[in-house]
Amino acid sequence: MQTTLLSGIQSPADLKKLPIDRLPQLAAEIRHAICDQISRSGGHLAPNLGVVELSIALHYVFDFGHDRLLFDVGHQCYPHKLLTGRQPLLGKLRQRGGMAGFPDPRESDYDLFMVGHAGTGISTAVGMARGDQLNGDAASAGSSDGRRVVTLVGDASIVNGVAMEGLNNAGTLKRQFLVVLNDNGMSIAKPQGAMAAYFDRVRLSHSYGEFKKAAKDLAKRIPGGGVLADAYHRMGEMSKAMISEDAWFEKFGLVTVGPIDGHDLPTLIDFLNEAREFDRPMLLHVKTVKGKGFEFAEGDSCTFHSPSPFDVVAGDGGDDAKLVSEGCRVELKKSGRSFTSAVGEAMVELMNRDEKVVACTAAMPDGTGIAKVLEAHPDRAWDTGICESHAADMMAGLAKTGWKPFMAVYSTFLQRAFDQCFQEASLQGLPLRLLLDRAGLVGGDGAVHHGFCDVSLLRVLPDACLMAAMDEPSLEAAIEFMAGHDRGLSALRYPRDKVSDLFTDDPCPPFEFGKARALLRHERPDLAVLGYGVMAIEAVDAARELEGEYRIDVYDARFAKPVDHALLSDLLGRGIPVVTVEDHSIVGGFGAAVLEACSEHGLDGRLVTRLALPDGWIHQGSRSEQLAEAGLDAASIARAIRDRLDQVPVVDTAGTPAKAEAVRR
């Protein structure tokens, strides 16, 4: 398809020049452009396909160069970006120098916040609405050109606790404020809980079709200019007529309209034009289809929520190089076995053997591997929806009643449940077990999703046991250890990456509390590297690069709390320099734990060099690029080792200073 209309949209001003009857063509072109690019680079597909018309209508009605548009779930921002001058960045989606996969103010003034966690949009929008009011810039301040505020909520993030807090405050505003609820019947996976069931009932209401027609007729009859204020009671009665109960959001003080068809552009524009002039908080309930426009994405929106690159093979002898919406087969490109898959299988096997083990995830069954557990043990596994705090508390309750709870969660989303890990788990001495997916650098998702602070957060909790897996055998051994560890909270971190097979042919010893595992060892090493998690594999590659130049020992540290005090005492007591390597922040991470252990046990911390993520932000790109930028790939580790031994005096076995050259092989 030739993108004749899309190529002419350099800003929303160009969009507003198009007649409404041309907008469906523009929507089709946007869908094609997004799907074509994601098939090459990967990215969030289904959520963006579902909001194309909604994004067009919002920019057609509002002026977000002046008005405020805030996203709740940032991964549905691609159409918005294409309409706001960022088409040239699409070809490098989620890559260095290209379009970020989430809203990013570095790219454009049309993006107000970097957004990667659900539930935040309403609260930040309330803050901006209040700020504009205080500045005298609000739409209700008596000025026709005042700033309007819109927040777009989707993928079931409305059930998040923070969203509820935001709604509770939004209803107190005395000005224009619009929440657009993109209700696609999906979260990242199938949404869970009572609210999801409520929305299902609304979507399945027999009166929906009648309401859609009546609403369109009403919009035609209403003269322009803020008339929803006068027609509020009529609109409210129509809404109540189509829902079996009262409009739920009106309990928060928001006028509730809908649901309306989120793919019917004229209806969307009609309603948004009226909502633009409404001087009270309003929620517009919009019904959309996740993955809209491509049969394979609509039919499996979980798989195509954020797929890796894929090939589309047309049916019936069609052109298999051309993206088609129907009658095609999609083949995801494989990149090797992932830690996530390994976790899912290890948990199923553990639960087959131990009937006291239970598991949960917070809306990420596929992303954490727990989908396999939900299928194999539906009576002992749960997807709680987007509510990490609830999930952690629920698992603490299960621990209190004698079960062995495992909670699988992205490292970046664990942050939202820290209070529960503290209060309801650690403080009670309960063995909550955390499986921390996406720990470290995550590649294309960038700064909003890096798991860079789980060690520093959890290490402060008394009796916490913190571990990292370097490969699949060590992951399985760590999970086995966790199942039998009842002394308090435990956590296992692993990256969004494929598992290494470097040591899979070697026996993997069981995890012993606070003990590291030797991977490469010499009788008299020049230096020892303690790699935390997958960084041990990078360290081995670095050590092998230096063979013939230095004798480098490498250890899989395994534990960040407690660290292996005996190993540190042995190495540092013999004057052997130690380099710690971790894909975690240098602030409060594994290296910091090593230095604290040195201080506690009277060891010479001057012999310790820390390699870790810098105290700054690393943005989208490939994981390998990000590791190199942080100085954590094998080549960078080798350079750091060489610099340490070449430039800094070391201590020989007699305890006297010696030049680095003296310890060369």
Q: Is 559 helix (H, G, I), strand (E, B) or coil?
A: strand
Q: Which residue has the tokens 């009166």?
A: 207
The count of residues in the chain is 665
Q: Which residue has the tokens 């435990």?
A: 490
Q: Which two tokens stand for residue 424?
A: 């309801």
Cα separation, 463 vs 426, in Å, equals: 8
Q: Report the Cα–Cα distance between both ends of the chain, in Å, rounded.
A: 64
Q: Are 499 and 338 in contact (CB under 8 A)?
A: yes
Provide φ and ψ at 439, rounded to 5°.
Answer: -75, 140
What's the Cα-to-Cα distance from 197 to each of 179, 191, 204, rounded to whole Å? 20, 9, 11
Identify each DSSP E strand in 415-539 by its residue range: 433-437, 465-468, 490-493, 517-520, 527-531
Who contacts 306 (Cβ-Cβ below 8 Å, separation ≥6)? 42, 43, 44, 45, 75
Q: Which two tokens stand for residue 490?
A: 């435990």
Write out the catalytic residue numbers. 290, 388, 416
Cα separation, 612 vs 556, in Å, equals: 15
Strand partners, 410: 437
Identify each DSSP E strand in 439-526 by its residue range: 465-468, 490-493, 517-520
Largest CA distance in the chain: 94
Triad 43, 44, 50: Cα angle to 5°: 145
Burial class (CB in 10 A: 0-12, 13-18, 19+), 377: middle
Q: Which two tokens stand for residue 66?
A: 């002046």
Q: Are 65 and 72 in contact (CB under 8 A)?
A: no
Strand partners, 312: 330
Q: Which two tokens stand for residue 208?
A: 């929906």
Q: Are 633 and 590 in contact (CB under 8 A)?
A: no
Strand partners, 215: none
Q: Are 290 and 185 in contact (CB under 8 A)?
A: yes
What angle in degrees, to the nearest 10, is found between the helix axes of 265-276 and 207-221?
A: 60
Q: Are 586 and 615 in contact (CB under 8 A)?
A: yes
Cα separation, 470 vs 557, in Å, equals: 9
Element (H, E) at 595: helix 590-601
DSSP characters for 256-324? Answer: EEEEEETT-HHHHHHHHHHHHT--SEEEEEEE--TTTT-HHHHHTTTTTSSPPPEEEEESTT--TTS--
* Side-chain-facing half-sphere of 513: CA atoms under 13 Å: 11
